[in-house]
Amino acid sequence: MHAAIEALSETRRDILLYIKHRGGATIAELAAHLGISDEGTRQHLIHLERSGWIMRRDARDTAGRSGRPASVYLVSPNGEVFFPKNYEELTVALIDTVVDLYGEQALRAALTRITDQKVNSWTRRLEGRSLDEKLELLKDYYRQDDEFVSVHCDGGAAIIQRNCPFLNVARSRPAFCSTTVCVLTRLLGYEVRRRRTFQHGDACCEFEVCMDRPIDAGRFQFAFEPAPPSPDAR
């Protein structure tokens, strides 16, 4: 189970686990399980739903009863974060398999395609924006309203990411990070480099915008990121 679930109260953890094990549950079922009133259960469910961890669906009565259908509560896609996943292992295995079967050029081609798709998805949104406006919008690069991303413009410009959603993959296969570096370079029109990295034990990845190194976004080609400087060399 994901450690984040420990931040919930014991009752709300119990609700999530019960719903997960059963594939959904009604207020009445949860109240009976918890040994509390329907109204008390409803208040916990309201909190979990507002937090985005669960969602509701109407359960139509197949026996033909009239009246309002009961709501069944399910773990939402966001709530799945609390339960074990092995996507990182699968991603690393796929990367290694591509390289083993087809060589590094195949990996480069795949990452180039990913980079192009990401640039295309952001280009219209950033069109006509100033550099400062682009940086603010790109705080949502990984996740909308990401509270762990900030922009620093004192004596330069940088995007600082304090929570990497791909951290386990990035640590073992840092070539994956080249896509973000190349996407930001093309979107901002300046060379971008990582000055601090999770791979070197920093508490963040800092994407520095090199204002003295403008690039031609139309001619810029995907390239693997040069090895960031070690902490001792900074």
Per-residue pLDDT of the chain (234 residues; tens, 9 = 90+): 444 556 688 999 999 999 999 989 999 999 999 999 999 999 999 999 998 899 998 865 544 555 566 899 999 988 887 776 677 788 889 889 999 999 999 999 999 999 999 999 999 999 999 999 999 999 999 888 888 899 998 778 999 999 888 888 888 888 889 999 999 999 999 999 999 999 888 889 999 999 999 999 889 999 998 865 555 555
Give me the pLDDT at residue 135, please: 96
Q: Which residue has the tokens 């995907």?
A: 222
Q: Which element (helix H / strand E) includes 83?
A: none
Whether domain 3-82 has CATH 1.20.1440.130: the reply is no
For 103-234, where are the alpha helices, taking DSSP H only?
104-126, 131-137, 167-172, 178-188
Identify the three-state secondary structure at position 214.
strand
Nearest alpha-carbon partner for 74 in 18, 35, 32: 18
Pair 228, 194: CB distance under 8 Å: yes
The CATH number of 87-233, from 3.30.1380, 3.40.50, 3.30.460, 1.10.150, is: 3.30.1380
Pair 79, 12: CB distance under 8 Å: no
| Residues paired with 62 in a beta bridge | none
Cα distance between residue 79 and residue 52, in whole Å: 7
* Domain regions of the chain by residue span: 3-82, 87-233
Name the DSSP letter for residue 135: H
Give me the pLDDT at residue 112, please: 95
Nearest alpha-carbon partner for 146 in 210, 193, 204: 204
Cα distance between residue 188 and residue 151, in whole Å: 13
Cα distance between residue 76 and residue 122, in whole Å: 27
Assess whether the region 3-82 and the region 87-233 belong to the same CATH fold.
no
Cα distance between residue 120 and residue 122, in whole Å: 5
Cα distance between residue 114 and residue 109, in whole Å: 9
